[in-house]
Amino acid sequence: MPVMPLPIEKGPVIAALEEYLDAEDHRITFMMELRDGKPLADCCPFSGDINAQHHLREHWRQTPGWMQRWKGDADAISRETMLRALEVASATPRDKVAADTTLRAMHPIDIVVTCGAEQFQGFVTWRTSLTGRRVLVVLSAPDFGPDGYEYWTGLSADGRTKLPKDSTAHDHPRGVWVVGHVHGERAPHDRFVSSGLVSTATVSMKDGGY
């Protein structure tokens, strides 16, 4: 079983980061730190949280971290992804941000982490409507483990779920649906195979991982 409880999740570190970025002064400081190349674990959203810093310094890397089947700079990719998301959500370019800056917008940012990809990548997408703009960040992390590694998808045959099955979720202000097979494993020649029933689960905000 991997350390992430689901192939897509929003754990306590990410949930806290989202809330942190709801404040304009926090966004400004974070944007300046990211722009200046400060390591992610040393940036303001994580500086007062030893557990969050440990996650980013020890797990968000290849050896002996969680990304042993990929080589690259996850920290640099994460920093640039978050910086671009902040530019979109704040309608303010990075080179215009200073301590006394007033951001042109404060659109909300949602962040999720996926696991099981071929390589580490960051995605920023957004949609503007009559009520404003919503920005979504997806950090897609490689799978964890050696050959023959069995991957628990977080889904079960009984349809493990914490939200109503009708998908409206009107009593829950936030959540993520996960739909997929109930089992997967790394086959020979590095091919990942999913199998089993199609089932649905939801991401708990405090399930561990990121």
Residue-level pLDDT, tens digit, the chain, 210 residues: 345 555 667 778 898 999 999 999 999 999 999 999 999 999 999 988 888 898 888 877 766 777 777 778 889 899 999 999 999 999 999 999 999 999 999 999 999 888 777 778 899 989 988 888 899 999 988 766 555 555 545 555 544 444 444 444 445 555 656 566 656 665 565 555 666 565 555 554 444 455
Single-letter code of the amino acid located at 115: C
Whole-number pLDDT of residue 29: 97
Q: What pLDDT was estimated at residue 141?
A: 83
Please give the Cα distance from 34 to 55 (Å, whole number). 18
Instruction: Classify residue 145: in a domain, yes or no.
Output: yes
pLDDT reported for residue 159: 44
Quick one: 152 exposed, middle or buried, by C-beta within 10 A (0-12, 13-18, 19+)?
middle
The alpha-helical segments, DSSP class H, found in the chain are 12-20, 24-35, 50-54, 74-90
d(CA 117, CA 145): 13
- What is the reported pLDDT for 2? 43
CA distance 36 to 22: 21
Do the domain assignments include residue 3? no
Q: What are phi and psi of 59, to 5 degrees?
A: -95, -30
pLDDT for res 161 = 43
**Per the domain annotation, does 190 fall within a domain?**
yes
Question: Per the structure, how many domains does the chain have?
Answer: 1
Residues in the chain: 210
Residue 210, in any domain of the structure: no
- Containing structural domain, residue 194: 8-202
Residue 183 lies in a domain: yes
pLDDT for the residue numbered 73: 87
The predicted structure's pLDDT at residue 59: 79
Asked if omega into 5 is within 30° of 0 (cis), the reply is no
**Residue 187 three-state SS:** strand
Question: What tokens appear for 28 in the block?
Answer: 């400004």
- Residue 1: burial class (beta carbons within 10 Å; 0-12, 13-18, 19+): exposed
In sequence order, what are the beta bridge partners of 122? 139
| pLDDT at res. 172 | 52
Token pair for 27: 């966004």
| CA-closest candidate to residue 195, choices 207, 182, 186 | 182
What's the pLDDT score for residue 165? 47
Q: Supply the pLDDT for residue 196.
A: 59
48 falls within a domain: yes
| pLDDT score for 208 | 47
The answer to whether position 207 is within a domain reads no
Cα–Cα distance measured from residue 171 to residue 115, given in angstroms and rounded to the nearest whole number: 28
